[in-house]
Amino acid sequence: MSDVVLENAPDNNTLTSPKIQKDLAQACADLTVKAMVSDLGDDYFFLLVDEARDVAIKEQMAVVLRYVNKKGSIVERFIGIIHVSDTTAQSLKAVIDALFSKLGLSLSKCRRQGYDGAINMRGEFKGLKSLILEDNKSAFYIHCFAHQLQLALVKVAKHHKKIQDFFDMLQKMATVVGGSCKRNQYEVIAERIASSEIPTGKGLNQERTLKRPGDTRWGSHFGTITSVISLFSPIISLMNFIEDEPKNETARSDAGSILYAMEDFEFAFLFHLMKLILGISYELSQALQRKDQDLLNAIGLVKVVKCRLQEVRNNGFDELLQETNIFANKYDIDISNMNDVYCPKRRSRQRLESVTFFHYFKVELFNTVVDTQIQELNDRFDNVNIKLLECLSCLNPRDSFANFNKEKLIEFARFYPLEFDELANIPFLSSSLSNFIVDVRIDSDFGNLQTISDLALKMVEKGKDIVYPLVYLLIKLALVLPVATASVEWVFSAMTIVKDKLRNRMSDDWFNSCMLTYVERDIFDTIDDEDIMQYFQGMKNRRMLL
């Protein structure tokens, strides 16, 4: 196409008109979506939907499909972003129906739906989940695992006054430090680097300021806490500088309250307590954002976090207290005597009994916070259909299909009566499963597989998907289950690049075309230029041919 555009174009046919450029972008986007829909074919898929506001404060709804392609690989594809005038469940459902009708897709092939847990999405009676279930009883709802983890952490913060105050102070600290003069930050940090208090090295000091915690990104709080601990002394120096600055009374007041908190032993203890808890769940939070993470591995990671928290609950207090004491000694913070009677700074009428500092720190802070976290994880992650997970584990090929159980797999098939009729398919599935397990156990190519994803790829490679079509259908239905709406979040990250403050008046169609070709550029790169020119030419009557 480069031979006939811009300076190489004949006469004045340079294709630089905004209308022509938008038509070209739409042609590219339409062919990109067409290629993705063709790859999906008539197969089953998982529907992922989420909403977010763009830079122009317009509510945008992103739609992503998850499916198993013809090679047996798990694929998640972004098929469109649509501006919605309101976010009621009925409006969202109407937009999805219109998009599916335009693309030639059918909700009858949807076998799962997943959202972030907002009431307009997952409401039992009037949510988007319920509206889709009315049309398709097999479109079961799965709550995003990553969001459930965030909610568990939020619950701890909202239901423990000390932790809530701690995070409020953390937010205030990030605001004051971020709003201070950069020169002042660099001066105090440079002094600490010169004294070897702050380590240096490649990539270590590219950004020496506080990471701002996000309200819904609770993994970011772990980064904020670790930043505060590594920059503790420079932050104190900066707060002292701001407190002595006469120009901004609000900043002076905030700096004074921050200094008062940072010099308190209880605040130091909460720093290390939340660093410990968030550090345990941080790896799980990051793992849940991986596109290739399957449900079984996610459940295993949740169990690891629960075990770690229980171990900390039983044996971790003394080590945490010792770590806090070392930190307090390093920064001249007065260490509380654990045998003294605890006297709160703000006396409450509810506190009538006298307790020691040891009891307060271990029982009222440490035990209560860790117990709340464990209970929240148990409540949220046990709500997933246990039978479904037990059935899925029977497909795991690890250790020569050690967990294989034909009866549970048949039970799993009964979740999908449209695909597995009780009289027509279930008897054949039972026989097929018996033959399948013998076949794969004697075939050395299946001996080193670790995940259900590996099993699907190997079955397609060896042609077993054709020999055992019902078994392969079970595997595909298992793989369609996601653990997170990470793909939708990545779309929203791309949205801030495509539509920024300088391009905040993009039309909805223009924005959608740019988003599709940017997010799914690997598919866009496979489309032939000649196909784009032919499609562009056929969109409307034009004066000249490309």
Summarised one tens digit per residue, pLDDT across range 137-186 is 777 777 666 666 666 766 676 678 888 888 888 888 877 877 655 445 54
Query: What CA–CA distance (Å, rounded) separates 206 from 229?
Result: 17
Residue 477, number of CB atoms within 10 A of its CB: 23
Pairing of strands 59-68, 140-141: unpaired
Span 46-64, average pLDDT: 85
Nearest to 370 by CA among 464, 274, 479: 274
- pLDDT for res 472: 93
Query: What CA–CA distance (Å, rounded) separates 497 from 28?
Result: 19
Mean of all residue pLDDT scores within the chain: 79
Residues 498 and 515: beta-carbon distance below 8 Å: yes
- pLDDT for res 80: 92
Query: What CA–CA distance (Å, rounded) separates 121 from 147?
Result: 13
Query: What CA–CA distance (Å, rounded) separates 80 from 100?
Result: 10
Length of the chain: 546
Nearest to 489 by CA among 3, 52, 1: 52
Q: Which residues pair with 67 in a beta bridge?
A: 75
Sequence letter at residue 80: G
Q: Which residues pair with 80 in a beta bridge?
A: 63
43-71 in b/e form (b: 16+ CB < 10 A) is ebbbbbbbbbebeeebebbbbbbbbbeee
SS3 of 110, please?
strand
Nearest to 172 by CA among 46, 261, 290: 261
Give the pLDDT band of residue 367 (cuts 50, 70, 90): very high
- The contacts of residue 3 (CB under 8 Å, 6+ apart) are none
- pLDDT for res 6: 59
Low-confidence winner among 147-151, 186-190, 243-247, 527-531 (lowest mean pLDDT): 186-190
Query: What CA–CA distance (Å, rounded) separates 223 from 260?
Result: 22
- pLDDT for res 246: 64
User: Please, what is the angle between helix 295-315 and helix 317-330, to 10°?
Assistant: 70
For residues 68 and 248, the model is more confident at 68
Span 221-240, average pLDDT: 81
Span 7-36, average pLDDT: 80
All domains of the chain in start order, with CATH: 2-142+483-539 (3.30.420.40), 149-381 (no CATH), 386-479 (no CATH)
For residues 153 and 319, the model is more confident at 319
For residues 518 and 223, the model is more confident at 518
Query: What CA–CA distance (Å, rounded) separates 272 from 320?
Result: 7
For residues 67 and 9, the model is more confident at 67
SS3 of 79, please?
strand
Q: What radius of gyration do the chain's Cα atoms show? A: 28
Does the CA dihedral 440-444-449-455 come out positive or negative? negative
Residues 185 and 239: beta-carbon distance below 8 Å: no
Query: What CA–CA distance (Å, rounded) separates 167 from 161?
Result: 10
- φ and ψ of 168, to 5 deg: -65, -40
Q: What is the pTM of this model?
A: 0.67
Query: What CA–CA distance (Å, rounded) separates 65 from 135?
Result: 18
Structure tokens at 226: 């670790």
Q: Tens of pLDDT along 334-343?
A: 998 899 888 7
Residues 121 and 113: beta-carbon distance below 8 Å: no
Query: What CA–CA distance (Å, rounded) separates 445 from 425?
Result: 28
Give the pLDDT band of residue 38 (cuts 50, 70, 90): very high
Pairing of strands 59-68, 45-53: antiparallel
